[in-house]
Structures are given as structure tokens and as C-alpha cells.
């Protein structure tokens, strides 16, 4: 029962879309297990670029089925728009995309509450993507959420929505001083989704477990990154789900024993969007160069990403939590024209050097990174497809990473396109 899990090892935006797109050639099913339309997975081929937010990137591979699991929070507007885009590109979606009946829905009030809360927090804002993710998960755990299955019964939907919206309107008006929402308009809008989404809705857990029994290969796709995990990330500057490996089981309903490969996606440098500590952040010309060359602007929000050197302390920590069995190193080409590359191999905290990633944010905010300086390669490596064709300094950089993390690397990405890849 082989399940391969693809997990972001940093703060998201590691380039998972391309890797999932590539690996899904050998998969029968690609399944998304957490997050929502806050994610943006970019895929490039034939000089075209596509961004998917909810539908797994495997949808572009012939013969591959896709699942949006129970752990995902679904914005019906976003998912229907995406289905339309995929169809227009000439790909069949019906019969191939399976949406969990147990997944929770993002409602318009989730976005409103999030916006009001972020404004209210002011300087302490998380810097969220504004897609209603946090409030939707809050409702899930408060047991007041609306699930996909609720769309199928108008009376249940109406009853649940009225209760939920009375509460949300009271909060919006009385706590945040925001405008209240029109209950009837939202009921009408969501009742309409029922017809459109119905062909895709199913018991995805039953479907996945049956497929695994039949020996099918499932590729589980995480969104965001391990350092944004609500339990293991840089709380409170995190997302509200579990991008780490455990989220795969709870977000799809598959047994942990079915997982045979856990691929850690490591971008060759670090980036972060939104607020929160970032020990190796560069606010100088190197940071600017990485942003420019790496086109480090959010695929979902367009926000410029904060950039910095690779942080092996953080990566050692996420390797420990996820138990990566192999690494895929992405965007190595972005480091092409640098005279030197720094790698963080330790933190100094209160005068002591440690390789432990602090679990409390106040400590993380004041650590000083210890850097090892490695030579750059000052030549363009974009599109190289064989390890032996890389300059020796680039190969040394890769070896340094896998030796430090004690995990072998199987794939190196040397550009955004499918073919710009080195298989090790």
C-alpha cells in the first residue's frame, strides 16, 4: 500500500507544485490533505504557467485521479473556478476529481472575520492570506462548521447557516465594529453550489483505502510548509492546519502504515511570507537578488516574499518531525550568480551555540545565526539535467545539505520547467 508524501520543509513556497507534477507521472492518485486556497502551486510547461490553489497538480497528468481530502477547507467559489480553468485547458475533471464529503467549507463570514481580526490585531497581525482559513478551522474545531455534505440538504444547510451567522454577525458588529452579513443572500449562494459540486463529492477515505488495497500508488500533497504547522511551526505565526506528515493521515483518513516515502522539499535558500521570526532573513542586496532572481512573490497574494540563506537548524528540526526519507532540492539555479553562499549551521542564544530549533518564539526572535561560508559558482546552471554537469561548488553545496540532514537527495530542480530537473 504505497503512499508517498510530499512535504514543504520550510515556510512554504518550496516549489512543491513542480515536484508533485513530476512525481505524479508514477502515481495513480494525487491527494491534497490540508490547507485551502491559501496555497498556490505553480506548474510550468510549454512556456505556460498555471497556479492551482485547491485541485492537486496531478490533474494535468493523464490517467491520474485527484482527491481533495477531509482535512482541506474548501472555498466553493475557488474550487469551481479552478475546475473551469482546468476544463478550458482541455483536461477532463469529472470522474477524476473526488472531493471529500467531510471537508469543511470556507464561508464568506470566515473571510470577513479574518479581515476584521487582522485589522484589530494591528502590529501583532499574522499577515494571513485573507482566504478565511483560520476562522474556518476554528469553526471546525468549535463544531459549528459547515461541511460539503451539508450542501446536499437545503434544510440542514439553512438551519446550520442561520445559527452560525447569528453568532458571526454578533462578533463582527460588537467586537470588531464591522458590518454584518446578509444571511439570506449567503444561503441562496451556497444552495447553488450544491448542483455544481455534487458530481465530485464522495467518501474519499473509503475510495483511498480501497485503492490502496488494490495496490494503487497514492501521492499525498501537503500545502504550505512544516514551519507553518499549527503545532510545530513558529506559533502564532503559522497557518491553522498540519502540513507535517501526521496531517496526511488525519487529513485523508489513511493509515500511517501505508506511508512508504516521505519527500522533504527543500528550497536552496529560505523564504517566508507574512510576519513572524526568520533567523536567516537578508535585508541587504543578497536578499534583493534572491527575490528578483527567484521571482519570490506570492502565487496567491502577490506579496513579496522575505528572503534569506538556507537554515539547516530549522531543516534539521523539520527533518526530525517528518522523518524525511529523501530530499528534493528546488531552485538551485537561483543561486547561480552569487560569489558566496552562506548556510546557517547553528544558532547563538544567550552566548551559547546550539543546533536546537527553539520551540518558543521569543527565543527564536533573538537567536543569532552561525554561518558557514561556501563558494558560489558564478555560472548559470539553469536547465542542467545531469548531476555531473553541475559545477563542483554546486555539487559540494548539495552534499553539504544532505550530509548535515543525513537524508539522501533524489531530485534537484534547476529551473521551473518539468524537464529542468536532475534525478539522482
Pick 223 or 398: Cβ nearer ligand IMP: 223
Q: What is the 3-state secondary structure (H, E, C) of the chain?
A: CCEEEEEECCCCCCCHHHHHHHHHHHCCEEEECCECCCCCEEEEECCEEEEECCCCHHHHCCCCEEEECCCEEECHHHHHHHHHHHHHCCCCCCCCEEEECCCEECCHHHHHHHHHHHHHHHHHCCCCCCCCHHHHHHHHHHCCCCEHHHHHCHHHHHHHHHHHHHHHHHHHHHCCCCCCCCHHHHHHHHHHHHHHHHHHEECHHHHHHHHHHCCCCEEEECCCCHHHCCCCCCCCCCCCCCCCHHHHHHHHCCCHHHEEEEEEEEECCEEECCCCCCCCECCCHHHHHHHHHCCCECCCCCCECEEECEEHHHHHHHHHHHCCCEEEEECHHHHCCCCEEEEEEEEEECCEEECCCCCCHHHHHHCEEEEEEEECCCCCCCCCCCHHHCCHHHHHHHHHHHHHHCCCEEEEECCCECCCEEEC
Query: Of 247, 35, 33, 200, whose CA–CA distance to 101 is shortest?
Result: 200
Pick 111 or 158: Cβ nearer ligand IMP: 111
Least distance from C-beta 315 to ligand IMP, angstroms?
A: 16
Least distance from C-beta 227 to ligand IMP, angstroms?
A: 10
Asked if 41 is an active-site residue, the reply is yes
Task: Catalytic residue, from 13, 28, 75, 150: name it.
Answer: 13
Asked if 13 is an active-site residue, the reply is yes
Least distance from C-beta 127 to ligand IMP, angstroms?
A: 5
Site residues (CB under 6 A) for ligand IMP? 11-13, 38-40, 126-129, 131, 133-134, 223-224, 228, 237, 239-240, 273-274
Least distance from C-beta 243 to ligand IMP, angstroms?
A: 9
Task: Catalytic residue, from 21, 41, 53, 150: name it.
Answer: 41
Pick 13 or 150: Cβ nearer ligand IMP: 13
Least distance from C-beta 13 to ligand IMP, angstroms?
A: 5
Pick 131 or 267: Cβ nearer ligand IMP: 131
Cα distances (Å, whole numbers) of residue 301 to 48, 107, 131, 199, 202 = 20, 19, 10, 30, 31
Pick 35 or 346: Cβ nearer ligand IMP: 35
Pick 220 or 273: Cβ nearer ligand IMP: 273
Residue whose CB is nearest to ligand IMP in the complex, by number:
274
Pick 224 or 322: Cβ nearer ligand IMP: 224
Q: Known catalytic residues?
A: 13, 41
Amino acid at each position: 500500500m504505497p503512499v508517498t508524501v510530499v512535504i514543504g520543509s520550510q515556510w512554504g513556497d518550496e516549489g512543491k507544485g513542480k515536484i508533485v507534477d513530476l512525481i505524479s507521472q508514477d502515481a495513480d492518485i494525487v491527494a491534497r490533505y490540508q490547507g485551502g486556497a491559501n496555497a498556490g502551486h505553480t506548474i510550468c510547461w510549454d512556456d505556460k504557467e498555471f497556479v492551482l490553489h485547491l485541485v492537486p497538480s496531478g490533474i494535468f497528468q493523464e490517467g491520474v485521479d485527484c482527491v481533495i481530502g477531509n482535512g482541506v477547507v474548501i472555498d466553493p467559489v475557488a474550487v469551481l473556478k479552478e475546475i473551469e480553468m482546468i476544463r478550458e485547458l482541455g483536461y477532463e475533471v469529472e470522474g477524476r476529481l473526488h472531493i471529500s464529503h467531510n471537508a469543511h467549507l470556507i464561508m464568506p463570514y470566515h473571510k470577513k472575520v479574518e479581515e476584521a481580526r487582522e485589522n484589530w490585531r494591528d502590529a501583532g497581525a499574522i499577515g494571513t492570506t485573507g482566504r478565511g482559513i483560520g476562522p474556518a478551522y476554528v469553526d471546525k474545531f468549535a463544531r459549528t462548521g459547515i461541511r460539503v455534505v451539508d450542501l446536499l440538504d437545503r434544510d440542514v444547510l439553512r438551519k446550520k447557516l442561520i445559527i452560525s451567522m447569528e453568532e458571526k454577525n454578533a462578533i463582527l458588529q460588537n467586537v470588531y465594529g464591522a458590518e454584518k452579513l446578509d444571511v439570506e443572500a449567503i444561503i441562496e449562494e451556497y444552495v447553488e453550489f450544491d448542483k455544481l459540486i455534487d458530481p465530485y463529492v464522495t467518501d474519499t477515505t473509503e475510495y483511498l483505502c480501497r485503492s490502496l488495497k488494490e495496490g494503487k500508488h497514492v501521492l499525498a500533497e501537503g500545502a504550505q510548509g512544516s514551519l507553518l504547522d499549527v503545532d510545530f511551526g513558529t506559533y502564532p505565526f503559522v497557518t491553522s492546519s498540519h502540513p507535517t506528515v501526521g496531517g496526511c493521515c488525519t487529513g485523508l483518513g489513511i493509515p500511517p502504515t501505508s506511508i512508504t516515502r516521505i519527500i522533504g522539499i527543500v528550497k536552496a535558500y529560505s523564504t517566508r511570507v507574512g510576519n513572524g521570526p526568520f533567523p536567516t532573513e537578508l535585508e541587504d542586496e543578497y536578499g534583493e537578488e534572491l527575490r528578483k532572481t527567484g521571482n519570490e512573490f506570492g502565487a496567491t497574494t502577490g506579496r513579496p516574499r522575505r528572503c534569506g540563506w538556507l537554515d539547516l537548524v530549522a531543516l534539521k528540526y523539520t527533518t526530525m518531525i517528518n522523518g524525511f526519507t529523501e530530499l528534493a532540492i528546488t531552485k538551485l539555479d537561483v543561486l547561480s550568480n552569487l560569489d558566496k553562499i552562506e548556510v546557517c549551521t547553528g544558532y547563538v542564544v544567550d552566548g551559547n551555540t546550539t543546533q536546537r530549533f527553539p520551540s518558543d518564539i521569543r527565543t527564536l526572535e533573538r537567536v543569532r545565526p552561525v554561518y558557514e561560508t561556501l563558494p558560489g559558482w558564478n555560472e548559470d546552471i539553469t536547465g542542467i539535467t545531469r548531476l555531473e554537469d553541475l559545477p563542483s561548488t554546486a555539487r559540494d553545496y548539495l552534499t553539504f545539505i544532505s550530509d548535515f540532514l543525513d537524508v539522501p537527495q533524489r531530485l534537484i530542480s534547476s529551473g521551473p520547467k518539468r524537464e529542468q530537473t536532475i534525478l539522482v
